[in-house]
Chains A and B, each alone.
Chain A
Amino acid sequence: MNFPLESFLAVSASNPWTYVVFGLIGFAFGFTLEMSGFGDSRKLAAQFYFTEMTVLKVMFTAIVVTLVLLFGAVGLGILDFGQVWVNPTYLASGILGGLIMGVGFIVGGFCPTTSLASASTGKIDGMFFVLGGFFGAFLFGETEQYFTNWYNNAGYLGRLTLDQVFGIPMGVVVLLVVLMALFMFWGAEQLERIFGKKDLSKEPKLRIASAAALLAAAVFVVVIGSPSLEDKYNKLTFHREVEGLQVTYTADDMLANRLVFITPAEAFKSKYNQAMKPVYLDVRSEADYNLYHIEDAVNVPLDRLTEVIPVLLSEPPANTVFILMSNDETAAIEAWKTLVASSVPNVYILEGGVNNWIAFFGADDESLQPAPQASDDQLKFIFPAALGDRYESCSPSPIEYENLEFVSKIKLELKRDKSGGGCG
């Protein structure tokens, strides 16, 4: 079985019972916060006067426990990290929003979820915080239009994780974070001793043993490593309905049965299909791209493909269909393997590549002459000039080609709109 479960990744409304599970998760969340003391604003505010470091201890313990379990599961190959929501990085709005939240935290004495735990147990200040929260959210909704461009674009880096930032393996990041957390716990206890006059000898000895166990688990995560792209590719499954039956294919089956190859006609028509939003990814060299490319195609040479994966993964609308193309198919197939192994949904390949596109839409363009000596995955035409997408066949007329017949291969896989891992 593969995790996360498929029924949770689909649109929620198609599996109403998933709401019950989310409700239970929320229940456990609220219960844990209250039982840790986060219903009391004094306990939260004390964090910022060094008298009691409960906030830091609970939060970082939770983070490192999750880290070790999560990346342990990823390393063992039972969890597909590509399907786990990772908050996209927006440097500018993230940092400014964070600073504003810090101000709200010390003024109000809560953060949003702790205020729920507080209000639900009858704390009147918690209720006022929740009410203020609604007003703050209302204000944001009304004012976002004045800085929407900055909000949506400034410092946008997509799905970016710390291992990519520092260029080290995921497991090593986990170990470093665990070490940092243990050091912070030690520091926090010293601060409590000094500022909070706390007697550390009364603290349970079990915490030392737990710290050692955590460290051992983190080392284990480093040792097992994370699965390679190839491992992930081999584990992929695709579902197609064949004559009323659900058939499961591996990724190689999908290629062998040509189920991911779409004709130039379908690639063209998908642009006028309300149900989907095609993105044409041209993985050829920039030189070939400049010679000839179809309208709206984005040039991402194959060797730079991995750089754009964070953006492809983070926030495209759920109905985005990626259509890969090279001159023939070789480079596009490589690109397809990389993208599907990286959990990019709805990826297809233009059948026969750009050469086939020209043969189909540009057959009567006399300026394009066949080049008989072209080898595999090279352009099979001679171009009078590098006109890019200004040949007529780059943007076929939707009227002239209104009635195109093709067998539709695109099967839109709609994922739940993960509008935010935590808060949207």
Chain B
Amino acid sequence: MTTLPKKGIFNRPEKPYVHPYLGGVVLGIVLFLSLFLTGNGLGSSGATIRLVAFAEDQVAPSHVDQTPYLLKLAGGDKDPLDDWILPVFFGALLGGFTSGWVFGRLKFVTTKGPNISNRTRWLMAFLGGTIFLYGARMARGCTSGQALTGGATLAAGSWLIMFAIFAGAYALAYFIRKLWN
């Protein structure tokens, strides 16, 4: 890295992605270390709901105290942000940024299929995020918390969830192929 000319954090020469199997091995070691040291796996969608609960608690604390699901997270004097998943969430943001920086991928772009406009892609991304997180809260975890972590600890329910995620996506993929191809 020392031989590179200084170009700031943007516009660095873009490097290719690592080989999928290598990425998987590194991810596996990270997940193992997490389980081995802390007894907990990886995740992020739990942080999303905790941030939402925190925001709602600032605006309407009495509403939080009357909503059973939010009550468990932020009821009374409970601090929804006092949880291990928050540092993991913000750590992941920082880690993603750092990787993008190191490999020269920091750029304001929209990744999309060739036949749709940026606006359509943004709308679909927002909609997909909404649907995904709704499902993730229902299943008590997303691809990281259930499929990856639960898969690696042989949790029976997590394996079903993993298959359900792939089933849902494959079942719909054909009908919305215009979005991506």
List residues of chain A with CB under 8 Å of any chain B CB: 3-5, 8-9, 12-13, 18-37, 39-43, 45-49, 53-54, 57-67, 69-70, 73, 79, 83-91, 93-126, 128-142, 144-145, 148, 151, 157, 159-165, 170, 173-174, 177, 185, 204, 207, 210, 416-424
Contacts and interface: CB of A to CB of B under 8 A. Distances in A.
B91 A22 contact: yes
Nearest to A95: B164
Given A90-B140, A160-B156, A422 B95 contact: no
A164 B44 CA distance: 28
A423 B176 contact: no
A421 B141 contact: yes
A100 B138 contact: yes
A45 B180 contact: yes
Contact of A9 (B39, B88, B132): B39
Given A66-B35, A124-B108, A136-B135, 9 more contacts: A25-B38, A30-B99, A54-B20, A107-B127, A111-B143, A117-B95, A121-B97, A133-B130, A422-B145
12 contacts: A12-B82, A27-B98, A34-B100, A48-B170, A104-B131, A105-B168, A112-B129, A112-B136, A128-B125, A130-B129, A135-B126, A151-B138
Query: Max chain A CB contacts within 10 Å: which of B26, B138, B181?
Result: B138
Nearest to A31: B95
Contacts of B86: 19
B21 A101 contact: no
B92 A63 contact: no
B133 A102 contact: no
B24 to A, nearest CB: 2
Given A87-B141, A95-B161, A129 B24 contact: no
Contacts of B127: 107-108, 132
Contact of B139 (A5, A93, A110): A93
Nearest to A144: B69
B121 A96 contact: no
Contact of B48 (A65, A79, A93, A112): A112
Nearest to A173: B154
A118 B96 contact: yes
Contact of A59 (B88, B112, B148): B148
Nearest to A145: B68
A54 B24 CA distance: 9
A416 B135 CA distance: 26
Contacts of B34: 25
A106 B93 contact: no
A281 to B, nearest CB: 24
Contact of A49 (B99, B111, B163, B181): B181
A161 B154 contact: yes
B143 A69 contact: no
A116 B140 contact: no
Given A29-B30, A105-B169, A161 B161 contact: no
B126 A421 contact: no
Contacts of B94: 26-27, 30, 120
User: Which 8 pairs, one residue from A and one from B, show the smallest C-beta to C-beta distance?
Assistant: A108-B128, A422-B145, A102-B168, A26-B91, A61-B24, A98-B164, A132-B129, A97-B139
A133 B133 contact: yes
Contacts of A420: 43, 46, 85, 140-141, 145
Given A79-B36, A161-B154, A61 B89 contact: no
B44 A105 contact: no
A85 B153 contact: yes
A102 B39 contact: no
B125 A132 contact: yes
B27 A87 contact: no
A110 B20 contact: no
Nearest to A128: B125
A120 B93 contact: yes
Contacts of B133: 104, 112, 132-137, 140
B134 A100 contact: yes
Contacts of B129: 104, 108, 110, 112, 115, 128-136
Contacts of B27: 29, 32-33, 36, 58, 61-62, 65
B85 A116 contact: no
Contacts of B30: 25, 28-29, 32
Contact of B125 (A30, A99, A110, A144): A110
B126 A89 contact: no
B125 to A, nearest CB: 4
Given A66-B152, A85-B39, A101-B165, A424 B83 contact: yes
B20 A142 contact: no
Interface in B26-62: 26-46, 48-53, 56
Interface string B95-130: 111111001011111111100001001111111111
Contacts of A43: 17
Given A39-B100, A49-B177, A112 B132 contact: yes
A33 B23 CA distance: 8
Given A22-B38, A126-B125, A144-B68, A422 B91 contact: no
Give the most central of B27, B132, B158: most A CB within 10 Å.
B132
B112 A36 contact: no
Given A30-B95, A48-B173, A89 B156 contact: yes
Given A95-B164, A120-B100, A423 B135 contact: no
